Structure 1
Amino acid sequence: MKLEISEKKKYESIREYALRIMNKNLLNMNLAPGMALSEQEIANELEISRTPVREAFIRLAHDNLLDILPQKGTYVAKIDLGQVAESIFLRETMEHAIMQVACKNFSESSLQKLQSCLDLQELCVKRDDFPRFFEMDGTFHGIIFAACDKTRIWQMIEQMSLNYNRVRMLNLVNGYYEMPKLFGQHEDIFMAIEQSNWEKGEKVIGEHINKVLKDTEDLKEKYPLYFKD
């Protein structure tokens, strides 16, 4: 097992650091569904004690990303498509609502932030940097919610979208959800807000979020051991 590790941030506790690194590696599939995990191995890789790793394990189990089985061990949870469908329902419902708010009242400074985010996404597309693009995707939607004074709702959506995001990452890695197409949809969302065109925004949001469901059967065939029966 080889984790993708970044430096600890100044404001992070050791537990927060362990949790962030594990979340990142669960999302990018370095820690693949079904993989057995060892607290000691991860502690050794991060050069920290086992206690913050154990605490991170407990939190990740609560988030349905790990399965802790007494007397058997800890495993990366397989992807539950029921949870994915639930996340999509939440995201689509809330993103339609936030689009309506954004198209009525969106500040110029927030539009500039969205444009800057789009510029970075375009660079990711040119470099074929899908992990960074995926990160900027979340940033893009987060800017919209923050501009509408709904930051906590976006945080709730992110918390409930962990399994959904693992499927989305598989989509990107396997070319099912091409970055240029995703980027184009973000441009359409930007234009809908800029033009106060809620109907256009509502249409593209539905396409943007539901694409994942159409690809899950192909993904299940290619990665049968990644998904719950």
Structure 2
Amino acid sequence: MDNFELREKAPHETVREYAYRVLYQNIMTLKLPPGTAMSEQELSGVLNVSRTPVREAFIRLAEKGLLEVLPQRGTFVSKIHTEQLAEFRFFRVTMERAIVELACQEFVDPWKTKLEFCIFEQGKFIASGSAANFFKSDNTLHSLLYEGCGKPHIWQVVQDSNLDYARARVLNVSDGDAAEQMNLLYEQHKGIVQAVFDKNVKVAKDIMTEHINKVMGDVAVLKQEYPEYFG
């Protein structure tokens, strides 16, 4: 757990919520990569909490499919499941094409301003080489499209369904030439936003499809480089 990122407890956060949040964020950012052995005792010491909130966090993470309990062996961060990625790609492409079509019909301020700022922010993250912040901003851009169309709850469903997909994206952006990966995604983001502003449904849907499918095209390469991360 050399890369484990310890975060401060929020003012009104319970110990249970804190333990879950820190473990969840470390798993999703691959600070705890797939296959990592998880120890209640060790993590309670790292987080400076009792074992009970850590155990409860383990249960919640297992329910989300992020932890796997293997009898007689222990608890491990779940591997990224290729079959689930393929299934989710279909779901995500379907939803994202629908949302940009809605956005092309009517997408008003302050959502336009927020999208423009998001694109500006991503350019700064590329310049500073911050892949982690770029990925957060990537998620923000997609969430703004849903919120601007009055569909925030659907975005939450998408988020809750795409945990393996999200981890694969983090790995993809972090792998090899991160700047090249970020620049490609950045250009796609700019194209999507411009198409929405221009109310060009076809272009928006075409770029979004290419954008979502990109991860699946890269998975084959990632599986060769990180076979221990995939199941």
Aligned equivalent of 2:195, options 174, 192, 202? 192
* Inter-partner Cα distance in structure 2 for 1:22 and 1:90: 27
* Inter-partner Cα distance in structure 2 for 1:139 and 1:30: 21
1:226 aligns with 2:198: no
- Residue aligning to 2:212: 209
C-alpha deviation, 1:72, in angstroms: 2.5
Q: Which runs of 5+ in 1 are unaligned?
A: none
1:145 aligns with 2:146: yes
* Inter-partner Cα distance in structure 2 for 1:12 and 1:69: 31
Question: Could you tell me whether the CA contact under 8 Å between 1:36 and 1:74 is conserved in 2?
Answer: yes
What amino acid is aligned across from residue 119 of structure 2 in structure 1? L
The 3-state SS of whatever aligns with 2:65 is coil
* Inter-partner Cα distance in structure 2 for 1:84 and 1:95: 16
C-alpha deviation, 1:55, in angstroms: 1.1
The 3-state SS of whatever aligns with 1:153 is helix
* Inter-partner Cα distance in structure 1 for 2:202 and 2:16: 44
* Inter-partner Cα distance in structure 1 for 2:93 and 2:53: 35
What amino acid is aligned across from residue 189 of structure 1 in structure 2? I
What amino acid is aligned across from residue 198 of structure 2 in structure 1? Q
* Inter-partner Cα distance in structure 2 for 1:55 and 1:126: 40
C-alpha deviation, 1:51, in angstroms: 1.2
C-alpha deviation, 1:222, in angstroms: 0.9
Cα deviations by residue, 1:172-208 (Å, 9 ceiling, x for unpaired) = 1113761011111111111111111111100100110
* Inter-partner Cα distance in structure 1 for 2:106 and 2:136: 26
The 3-state SS of whatever aligns with 1:68 is strand
1:17 aligns with 2:18: yes
1:75 aligns with 2:76: yes
The alignment of Structure 1 onto Structure 2 pairs a total of residues equal to 228
C-alpha deviation, 1:30, in angstroms: 1.9
C-alpha deviation, 1:12, in angstroms: 2.6
Identity of aligned residues (%): 42
C-alpha deviation, 1:43, in angstroms: 1.3
C-alpha deviation, 1:92, in angstroms: 0.7
* Inter-partner Cα distance in structure 1 for 2:206 and 2:221: 25
* Inter-partner Cα distance in structure 1 for 2:146 and 2:11: 27
Moved over 3 A (4+): none
The 3-state SS of whatever aligns with 2:110 is helix
TM-score calculated relative to the size of structure 1? 0.95
1:32 aligns with 2:33: yes
* Inter-partner Cα distance in structure 1 for 2:90 and 2:19: 30
Q: What CA RMSD, in Å, does the superposition of the two structures yield over aligned residues?
A: 1.3
What amino acid is aligned across from residue 179 of structure 1 in structure 2? M
- Residue aligning to 1:116: 117
* Inter-partner Cα distance in structure 1 for 2:13 and 2:160: 19
- Residue aligning to 1:131: 132
What amino acid is aligned across from residue 211 of structure 1 in structure 2? K
* Inter-partner Cα distance in structure 2 for 1:13 and 1:155: 23
1:50 aligns with 2:51: yes
Cα deviations by residue, 1:62-95 (Å, 9 ceiling, x for unpaired) = 1111101233310111110111112211111111
- Residue aligning to 2:163: 162
* Inter-partner Cα distance in structure 1 for 2:23 and 2:11: 18
Q: Which runs of 5+ in 2 are unaligned?
A: none
Question: Could you tell me whether the CA contact under 8 Å between 1:87 and 1:157 is conserved in 2?
Answer: no
1:61 aligns with 2:56: no
Question: Could you tell me whether the CA contact under 8 Å between 1:103 and 1:193 is conserved in 2?
Answer: yes
